[in-house]
């Protein structure tokens, strides 16, 4: 399973990268706004800076919601760097644009996926990734992980190459259950990745090892 970090914060991206387990980055307009990144040139420079840190797929989202606009923005983003994956919302013009990009060899991540039908449509259009939002479904009382399971099953049935990128992954249990189900990728904040390090028995066990070592090495 690939680990992507879901942020536009360069420090956090660098920290996850330095841990040695990072496979890619996902961003979205909210995450870019959170970092105060605005204006075309600054946005493009920020994506370049992310690409300079991580040698893996970097999802960069279009703002346009009309076909021509999505194509224009997506082509400009794809030109920035080979690792850019154009993130396109699950709307009618988005699906048409995904088909266009796929025919041109431009990789895409279809975002805001909340149903298996949407995931099936995105795969048929040739999306490289689909991003079902686990946490946001949980927020409204629908089992987000069940959707991941359903999409993995459907893609397996027909051998779709589209990768299931579980997004809106909020905690360790989400991540582990995605791994059990067989999601190709999870994207989550840095603290979810670093939480995987923690176990109290590791801490107490290490403290005892060091104390025992000290007893005979002073």
81: Cβ contacts below 8 Å, ≥ 6 apart: 47, 48, 51, 58
For 154, the enclosing helix (H) or strand (E) is: helix 144-158
Two tokens, residue 193:
């990745």
Helix boundaries (H) for 54-131: 67-80, 92-104, 116-125
Q: Which is nearer to ligand G3P, 11 or 213 (CB)?
A: 11
- Choice among 11, 34, 48, 87 that is catalytic: 87
Binds ligand G3P (CB under 6 A): choice among 29, 56, 69, 135: 135
Among 29, 124, 136, 182, binds ligand G3P (CB under 6 A): 136
Q: What is the footprint of ligand G3P within residues 14-33 (CB under 6 A)?
A: 26, 28
Which secondary structure element, helix H or strand E, spans residue 60, and what is its range?
A: strand 57-61
Asked about 87 being catalytic, the answer comes back as yes
Taking a C-beta distance cutoff of 8 angstroms, is the pair 174, 135 a contact?
yes
CB–CB of 202/210 below 8 Å?
A: no
The nearest distance, CB 135 to ligand G3P, in angstroms, is 5
**For residues 25 and 100, which CB has a smaller minimum distance to ligand G3P in the complex?**
25
Binding of residue 167 to ligand G3P (CB under 6 A): yes
For residue 58, give every residue at least 6 positions away whose Cβ sits within 8 Å of its Cβ, in sequence order, or none: 24, 25, 27, 47, 50, 51, 81, 83, 84, 85
Name the residue among 196, 194, 168 with its Cα closest to residue 183: 168
- Interface with ligand G3P, residue 2, by CB under 6 A: no
| Strand-pair partners of 181 | none
One residue of 129, 133, 155, 160 binding ligand G3P per CB under 6 A: 133
Stretch that binds ligand G3P, among 66-74, 76-84, 129-137, 202-210 (CB under 6 A): 129-137
Binding track over 62-101 against ligand G3P, x by CB under 6 A? ----------------------------------------
**Which residues of the chain form contacts with ligand G3P (CB under 6 A)?**
6, 26, 28, 131, 133, 135-136, 167-168, 170, 187
Q: Give the residue numbers marked as catalytic.
A: 87
């Amino acid at each position: 399973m690939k680990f992507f970090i879901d942020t536009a914060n360069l420090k956090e991206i660098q920290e996850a990268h330095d841990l040695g387990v990072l496979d890619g980055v996902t961003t979205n307009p909210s995450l870019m706004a959170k970092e105060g990144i605005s204006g075309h040139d600054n946005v493009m420079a920020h994506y370049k800076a992310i690409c300079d840190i991580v040698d893996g797929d970097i999802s960069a989202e279009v703002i346009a919601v009309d076909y021509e606009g999505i194509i224009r923005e997506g082509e400009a983003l794809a030109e920035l760097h080979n690792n850019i994956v154009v993130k396109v919302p699950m709307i009618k013009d988005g699906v048409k644009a995904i088909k266009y990009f796929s025919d041109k060899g431009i990789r895409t991540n279809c975002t805001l996926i909340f149903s298996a039908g949407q995931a099936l449509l995105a795969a048929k259009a040739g999306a490289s990734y689909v991003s079902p939002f686990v946490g946001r479904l949980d927020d409204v009382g629908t089992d987000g992980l069940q959707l991941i399971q359903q999409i993995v099953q459907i893609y397996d049935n027909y051998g779709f190459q589209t990768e299931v990128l579980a997004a809106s992954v909020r905690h360790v249990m989400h991540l582990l259950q995605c791994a059990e189900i067989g999601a190709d990728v999870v994207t989550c904040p840095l603290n979810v990745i670093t939480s995987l390090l923690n176990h109290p028995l590791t801490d107490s066990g290490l403290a005892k090892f060091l104390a025992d070592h000290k007893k005979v090495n002073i």
